[in-house]
Amino acid sequence: MSEPMTALQGDSFAGYVTVSEDEPRGMIQLRGDLDSSSLRDALQAAIGCGVPDPLAIATGDRGAVAWMSPDELLLLTSPDAAAGTLSQLSEALGDAHHLALDVSDMRAAIRLEGAGVREVLAKVTPIDMATMTPGTFRRTRLSQIPAAVWLSDERTAHVLCFRSVGRYAFDVLAISSRKGGEVGAFQGFRAPH
């Protein structure tokens, strides 16, 4: 069986921050009443974590869950687990009002690594990167396109965007991370706790 074709085909750029295609992920969009016990129980069983706080991403033993809006979550799993997780959620939620869709193939995933990830993102998003901490999640714009951004640690950021604009997002981030383009805006910066 051949590997699925990814949005960026494993592309990578080494600047003062390394920009590369992120690891493949299964992605499930889940809409419903985030306060309902049935949704919370189904999420705990499927991913191993609860509903994250607004503007946050929570990690469980079988993936992660990102808060997208007051009635929407994005579940991140291994690519092999997406179909099974979707089936498990649909069965657990039964007749409860919800929408669960496998959206894995409609998104591109990009990873930024290095001490300058805050600076590179601050160049191309309206996010106040001085307030962004690992575990927070933002839906925003990246230059001219919609995107989602989060930090998994102080040197690693992740960007999700629609697959159709994945190359554009990658190129914008690569240009922003070129050596010689350092601004030093976050030099000596200490993230809030």
- Domain map of the chain by residue range? 12-23+107-176, 26-105
Say if 12-23+107-176 and 26-105 have the same CATH topology: no
Determine whether 76 is exposed, middle or buried from the number of CB atoms within 10 Å of its CB (0-12, 13-18, 19+): buried
Spatial contact of 145 and 131, defined as CB atoms under 8 Å apart: no
Residue 1 has pLDDT above 60, yes or no: no
At a CB cut-off of 8 Å and minimum separation 6, what does 109 contact? 7, 21, 22, 23, 24, 25, 158, 159, 160
For residue range 22-66, list pLDDT tens digits in order: 998 999 999 999 999 999 999 999 999 999 999 999 999 999 999
Q: How many CA atoms lie within 13 A of 77 on its CB side?
A: 25
CATH number for the segment(s) 26-105: 3.30.70.1520
In tens, the pLDDT along 87-127 reads 999 999 988 899 999 999 999 999 999 999 999 999 999 99
Both structure tokens of 33: 């009443």
Query: 2 pLDDT band (50/70/90 cuts)?
Result: very low
Domain 12-23+107-176 architecture: 2-Layer Sandwich (3.30)
